[in-house]
Copies of this chain bind each other. A is one copy, B any other.
Amino acid sequence: MDNKGILIVVSGFSGSGKGTLMKVLLEKYNNYALSISATTRKPREGEVEGVHYFYKSVEEFEKMIAKDELIEYARYVNNYYGTPRNYVESQLNAGKDVILEIEIQGALKVKNKYPETLLLFVTPPDAGTLERRLVGRGTETPDVIKSRMLRAAEEADGMDAYDYLIVNDDIEECRDEVHRIIQSEHCRCSRNTEFMNQIKEELRGNLKGEL
């Protein structure tokens, strides 16, 4: 079978638990690489260059844009965030499945550039669970919760553009399900054109010799 890694975008509602999900996925399975974003935002306490982000000046970031060194980028609250192409492509070529944790606009841009990208959308089993999780954190004001629920309603309209729906009810089951889905995708015919071409050639060559 072909040995190239798969580019995977993981999105999901705030409160869907996708951050934890990625953490436990990478802890259990070692064939994944998490893409590290570049940003012009200043490092927060405890954040490490090359682990949490690649920290760039606005000038550096804009140079990366100009040189097409970013797969996708966006600007939030006066800061740039983007996905460096270099790291992603080198990991894919090494056979690693590379995961980008980005929201829907970015996901669609990536899919547009790399049509073989696998889009996963993480959701709680129902809207009530989503709200309870947001409330349960205990750290958000009612206004923030409402604005997150409003955002969730908007994001829900984008779910159809994704390939798979990941219902995050039990975190460990969910982690294994994500792994199973990605591994299954490695068997897709469209991801194994080299293997198929080889078998076709072998069969033709075999016949030429024999018939």
* CA–CA, A190 and B153, complex, Å: 19
Q: Shortest CB–CB separation between residue A105 and chain B, in angstroms?
A: 18
Q: Indicate if the CB atoms of A189 and B153 lie closer than 8 Å.
A: no
Does any Cβ of B come within 8 Å of A166's Cβ?
yes
* CA–CA, A69 and B180, complex, Å: 36
Does any Cβ of B come within 8 Å of A31's Cβ?
no
Chain B residues within an 8 Å CB radius of A1? 165, 167
A183-200 CB mask vs B (1 if < 8 Å, else 0) is 111011100110110111
Chain B residues within an 8 Å CB radius of A150? 207, 211
The DSSP consensus for interface residues of chain A is: helix
A:158-209 near B, CB below 8 Å = 159-167, 177, 180-181, 183-185, 187-189, 192-193, 195-196, 198-200, 202-207
Chain B residues within an 8 Å CB radius of A160? 189, 193, 196
Does any Cβ of B come within 8 Å of A131's Cβ?
yes
State the A residues within 8 Å of B (CB): 1, 121, 123, 126-128, 130-131, 146, 149-150, 152-153, 156-157, 159-167, 177, 180-181, 183-185, 187-189, 192-193, 195-196, 198-200, 202-207, 210-211
